[in-house]
A and B are shown apart, each in its own frame.
Chain A
Amino acid sequence: MDQSTPTTGQPAADETVDAPTSDRVLGAPLVELKNVNKHFGALHVLQDIDLTVRKGEVLVVIGPSGSGKSTLCRAINRLETIDDGTISVDGKTLPEEGKALAQLRAEVGMVFQSFNLFAHKTVLDNVTLGPRKVRGLSKKAAEAEAMTLLDRVGVANQAGKMPAQLSGGQQQRVAIARALAMHPKVMLFDEPTSALDPEMINEVLDAMVALAQEGMTMIVVTHEMGFARKAANRVVFMADGQIVEEAPPEEFFTAPKSERARDFLSKILTH
């Protein structure tokens, strides 16, 4: 791995990361991207991406529109294929297709910008589908756990409703519960709050902060600096398909090193 950027140097497994916002103990590398490249036609969307996320780490990915953040996220559970390089989760390289890939995806939770709850199923059935059909849990066991999870994200009273009857904030919290029901090793969030009305953003962020505090490994694409400051160990700044800079959140937001990042931050701060 390229160690030339000082901030990519990782502490040993049992050391604490020096992020001022967190005293989490980080474990072994869980998600590792090595030399990942991806093109959409002539567009080089991911350029030599090297990234390691350790167990228990919360990583925030930030950057201008079109910089490749979603593509990076989607590549990690292979919703997008990559041209070359390797991506591994918990030591296992992403399989090409078939059962092994489905297996791996079950271990990587994903929360989408547009929620993507199964529109023809109730909230409860949304959460139990994976555990029942992928993990083979009984209906009773799956529902009991689903109710616990829905309660944790504060939407247990909506269990019998259809997704379309819920507010965006409630739908997104159900989506988080649905992903958690699979007991993922890592959770990916692709701009989970950017499709929400402002008054609903906090209820989703609160659920995410709680999750981070419980020790979940998370990769979060978001421009919510409050969340990054409160929960992230590290911020990665992407531009034009490259990782331009990475730093603990406080350091990144107060003293960005690159011109691109300073420029970007000045734009989102004036909004």
Chain B
Amino acid sequence: MDDFLAGFAELFARFDVLGAFWVNIQLTFWAALLSLVLGTVLALMRISPIASLRWAGTAYVTIFRNTPLTIILTFTYLVLFSQLALSLSDTLDTTFFWFAVIGLAVYHAAFVCEAIRSGVNTVPVGQAEAARAIGLSFLPAAALVIFPQAFRGAVAPLGNTLIALLKNSTVAAAASVSTETSSLMRTMIEFRPDLMVAIFLTFALGYVILVIPIGLVTTSLSRRLAVKR
């Protein structure tokens, strides 16, 4: 037992486990922000009165929701970096980080869009009709009447998307972000295969600790923000 603890202490001294989690939290934060913006625009497109915009929104969601994330992240890495030699920073690590953020955001925006659309469906049509009847055109009606109510109805599915995003951020390894948790876990297990179960449990528990509060907060928010009718 002492040996085990000593081995574990050595691992933690040698590898920056908390730092790796911090990378995933940052990936998640920026991708969440970006996908929320993109997903909102997509949701607007999908409910807009302009048919070509609706079509484009639907096409986007269909494509990105049905493509594996690994493929998208590998693609952003290979195309943006290797082919186009696009650089977002002086250091490679930072460049890869932002490629991963873009890939994650592009993918999860499709889910954010669908979460918001489910929120829009909780808003009775009468609300939109009343907004139009006082002379609001599409965008102001959406911004002032529909979306404020839709977001409240979409808190729970948006929370689920955020949880999926946090867990999916480990796929950033596919975009060569080597400092994140799953890459670190692989390195650690290669280094101390005798401790692999403990290493696995460390990372698994780390995600459980991160995910549970998100679930609790979104559930209580969704109850508190619910629009009373």
B-binding residues in A (CB < 8 A): 77, 79, 97-99, 101-103, 105-110, 112, 114, 116-120, 129-130, 133-134, 162, 164, 175, 178-179, 182
Contact = CB atoms under 8 A, between A and B. Distances in A.
B211 to A, nearest CB: 29
Contacts of B68: none
A133 B132 contact: no
Nearest to A107: B135
Name the 10 nearest CB pairs between A and B, nearest first: A106-B135, A130-B134, A116-B126, A116-B130, A164-B228, A110-B133, A102-B137, A134-B135, A119-B227, A105-B135
Interface of B: 49, 124, 126-127, 129-137, 140, 144-145, 148-149, 152, 227-229
A210 B206 CA distance: 67
Nearest to B126: A116
A134 B149 CA distance: 20
22 contacts: A97-B49, A98-B137, A99-B137, A102-B135, A108-B133, A112-B126, A116-B129, A118-B145, A119-B227, A119-B228, A120-B148, A120-B149, A120-B152, A129-B134, A130-B134, A130-B136, A133-B140, A178-B134, A179-B133, A179-B134, A182-B134, A182-B135
Nearest to B225: A120
A116 B132 CA distance: 12
A106 B134 contact: yes
B229 A164 contact: yes
Given A116-B124, A134-B134, 14 more contacts: A77-B133, A79-B129, A102-B132, A106-B134, A106-B135, A110-B129, A112-B126, A112-B129, A116-B126, A118-B131, A118-B145, A120-B152, A164-B228, A182-B135
A101 B136 CA distance: 10
Contacts of A107: 135
Contacts of B133: 77, 79, 105, 108-110, 179
A72 B131 CA distance: 19
Contact of A133 (B49, B124, B144): B144
Contacts of A182: 134-135
Contacts of B140: 133-134
Given A97-B49, A116-B129, A118-B145, A105 B134 contact: yes
Name the residue in B127, B130, B132, B140 with the highest tally of chain A Cβ atoms < 10 Å from its Cβ.
B130
Contacts of A109: 133
Contact of A119 (B132, B137, B149): B149
